[in-house]
Structure 1
Amino acid sequence: MANTIMETNFRFAGQKKVYKGKVREVYTLENDILVMVATDRLSAFDVVMPKGIPFKGQILNQIATKMMRATEDIVPNWLMATPDPNVAVGKACKPFMVEMVIRGYLSGHAAREYKAGKRTLCGVAMPEGMTENDKFPEPIITPATKAEKGDHDEDISKADILSRGIVSKADYEILEKYTRALFQRGTELAAKRGLILVDTKYEFGKTKDGQIVLIDEIHTPDSSRYFYAKGYEERQARGEAQKQLSKEFVRQWLIANGFQGLQGQTVPEMTDAYIESVSERYIELYESIMGEAFIKADVSHIQERIGQNVSNYLKSV
């Protein structure tokens, strides 16, 4: 088993504060600079699993940052540099307290709600007569409130976001526009790899000068769901499960072992063999999504490597 990074405690030059999310740890420095470290923590049903997944942080960081570079012509983002395989450095901004979830297909959470008899999700109507993994006539935006650490994200409608003043009407219209543009680009990029971008989430913030920018991760297997395009129609016609590229395989394993993040439930044991299989699956996800071989970084002294690479970069800024 390779070394994993479950927690960091760096002291970078000019450091002001640290925020530790479910997977990423964000260091705020002077001059409005953020250092975001992608750990190997695995989160499912808004619960952080007790063991890390080797190379997961590197995989997520590299997909997210490369996808940001591939979309910066249509949506501005916070990214400045990637001084380490697990690290992104960018502009500090105030995050909007909503996640912009967009769905092209009836899958995951939407499918579970649909099976329960619901035909409206976040104030958006879903057509009658759909089968799990069917394509929506048009992609739907189903926002969620951004949870504080340890809390669950919750579905919320556009009307509630506006009435509660979580986001202004003018800003929300920009978020919607950017969300649809990013999903369209993501769909095109996925198609080139023989994949279908099923659904995803985007997070945005506002810089001190008032610019709305894309933040956090984008088009990663943690934030997105992909199907293999080949055989999609045939599997739907036969009522078979779709071949997926996403974190859904972890969720399904947890559900099969009696865990959905509900009160009183215990995370099932994650053996070394299972952890290794998840790591291998994430590498497969990277190579399929990016269309290139994954190169494992040296993890023999992972904390020291990250600290040195970031410090060297900051000296050059």
Structure 2
Amino acid sequence: MSLADTVLAVNNDLPIRTDAPVHSGKVRSVYWLTEADSRRLIQEKGYNVAPDAPLAIMVISDRISAFECIWHGEGGLQGIPGKGAALNAIANHWFGLFREEGLADSHILDIPHPFVWIVQKARPVMIEAIARQYITGSMWRAYAKGEREFCGIAVPDGLQKDQKLPELLITPSTKGILKGLPGVPEQDDVNITRRNIEEHFGAFNFASQDDINVYEKLLSEGFAVISRELAKLDQIFVDTKFEFGYVTDAAGNDKLIYMDEVGTPDSSRIWDGAAYRNGKIIENSKEGFRQLLLNHFPDPDILLNKDRMEERYALARNNALPESVMLEVSKTYVDIAEKITGEKLVLSDNPKAEIIDILRDQFDLIA
């Protein structure tokens, strides 16, 4: 079996019973279950959700996206070996810890396979909740050009690149395009202030103004938990993105929960502590892959300049990255997953066949 065969690159073609189109994102695909299957599973498995809650099967892939493109490697390698299993294992670990520490639940109800989550439908808060403990990346680039206010928060002069910030900064951005909100640009992923959110809390899908405090508390506390645990492994939690949504439990209570993924190398920057103390940055996250791409191509402006998107898509489409690069990225993901979870990551020879067998035999969800 070739290395390419072990990679789950296409995850939107499984024969899961559904009467809705499969939603395929950059990394995950979502299969909405039929109303009958959702009700049956809630009853059979005793999930703590409303009896008529819509459920979905969420299948991760090994695809890797960066600079808004999907990248591939030589030898038919359409993803990063071990990446999907690593992301799910890390997110599951943090979600479990959040529950243990009494922070909040997540959208995950069951984990039938390392690549698969059974999730409940949430009403998403339309905010990318970003928290930063160090000044780096886009924030540093803006700061170096003279910006001193980020999302309405003043930042002092005299900061150095990659320095720890005086306090954790919450710098939210829009999730999707919101129209007709004064002061909020009609763009996806554009920075907003807390005041923007307060003025339009309903448009951002908050049930009340008070829940803005709840989301900030869950973001800060979640960041603190992950930061504390990573510090034990001599890893630095630099910055991250969380997402939130509302669900209704079996008793009819609405609650704000964590959704998507948390504390993974795709949604966060994680630095090696020993290297940082020696003045060097070693990325244990997807940021390392981004830097690798910037160094690999002779004209990095294509990757950084949104006015050159067509050239960027062509670059990703027409260039198979060396297998050595893909395996280096694989090692980053697998190593950090094993560090965080304290367990060996078991990689499947044929994840798709395993998923189908489990969903058929244990959940009766294969058409």
Q: TM-score, normalised by structure 1?
A: 0.89
**Equivalent pair of 1:203/1:215 in contact (CA under 8 Å):** yes
Q: Deviations over 1:111-131 (max 9, x none)?
A: 222222211222222221111
Cα distance change of structure 1 residues 182 and 230 upon mapping to structure 2, 3 Å threshold:
same
SS in 1 for 2:274: coil
**Equivalent pair of 2:8/2:61 in contact (CA under 8 Å):** yes
Tell me, in whole angstroms, the C-alpha distance in 1 between the residues paired with 2:19 and 2:360: 11
Name 2:30's counterpart in structure 1. 26
Equivalent residue for 1:203, pick from 219, 227, 243: 243
Instruction: Please tell me whether residue 185 in structure 1 is matched to residue 225 in structure 2.
Output: yes
> Could you tell me how far 1:10 is from its partner in structure 2?
2.6
Q: Deviations over 1:234-274 (max 9, x none)?
A: 41xxxxx3222111111112222222363333335212232
Instruction: Please tell me whether residue 141 in structure 1 is matched to residue 181 in structure 2.
Output: no
Number of residue pairs aligned between Structure 1 and Structure 2: 307
Name 2:355's counterpart in structure 1. 306
**Equivalent pair of 1:45/1:261 in contact (CA under 8 Å):** no
> Could you tell me how far 1:15 is from its partner in structure 2?
4.9
Name 2:291's counterpart in structure 1. 252
Name 1:243's counterpart in structure 2. 282
> Could you tell me how far 1:189 is from its partner in structure 2?
1.1
Equivalent residues in 2 for 1:1-317 (5 A)?
1-3=3-5, 4-7=7-10, 8-13=12-17, 15-29=19-33, 30=35, 31=38, 32-50=54-72, 51-72=78-99, 73-147=102-176, 153-164=189-200, 165-168=203-206, 169-208=209-248, 209-235=253-279, 241-256=280-295, 257=297, 258=300, 259-260=303-304, 262-264=306-308, 265-266=311-312, 267=315, 269=319, 270-299=321-350, 302-315=351-364
**Equivalent pair of 1:232/1:242 in contact (CA under 8 Å):** yes
Tell me, in whole angstroms, the C-alpha distance in 2 between the residues paired with 1:83 and 1:107: 38
Instruction: Identify unmatched segments of 5+ residues in structure 2.
Output: 39-53, 73-77, 178-186
SS in 2 for 1:230: helix
Name 1:238's counterpart in structure 2. none
Read off the aligned partner of 1:154 and give its amino acid letter. V
Tell me, in whole angstroms, the C-alpha distance in 2 between the residues paired with 1:27 and 1:294: 25
> Could you tell me how far 1:206 is from its partner in structure 2?
0.7
RMSD of the TM alignment (CA)? 2.2
Q: Deviations over 1:10-59 (max 9, x none)?
A: 34235544321111111222332121111111111232224311221111
Cα distance change of structure 1 residues 231 and 6 upon mapping to structure 2, 3 Å threshold:
closer
Tell me, in whole angstroms, the C-alpha distance in 1 between the residues paired with 2:211 and 2:326: 41
Percentage of matched positions with identical amino acids: 30
Q: TM-score, normalised by structure 2?
A: 0.77
Bigger radius of gyration among the two: 2
Tell me, in whole angstroms, the C-alpha distance in 2 between the residues paired with 1:123 and 1:98: 16
> Could you tell me how far 1:175 is from its partner in structure 2?
0.8
Q: Deviations over 1:257-307 (max 9, x none)?
A: 2223633333352122322222122212222333333222233xx322222
> Could you tell me how far 1:215 is from its partner in structure 2?
0.8
SS in 2 for 1:89: strand
Instruction: Identify unmatched segments of 5+ residues in structure 1.
Output: 236-240
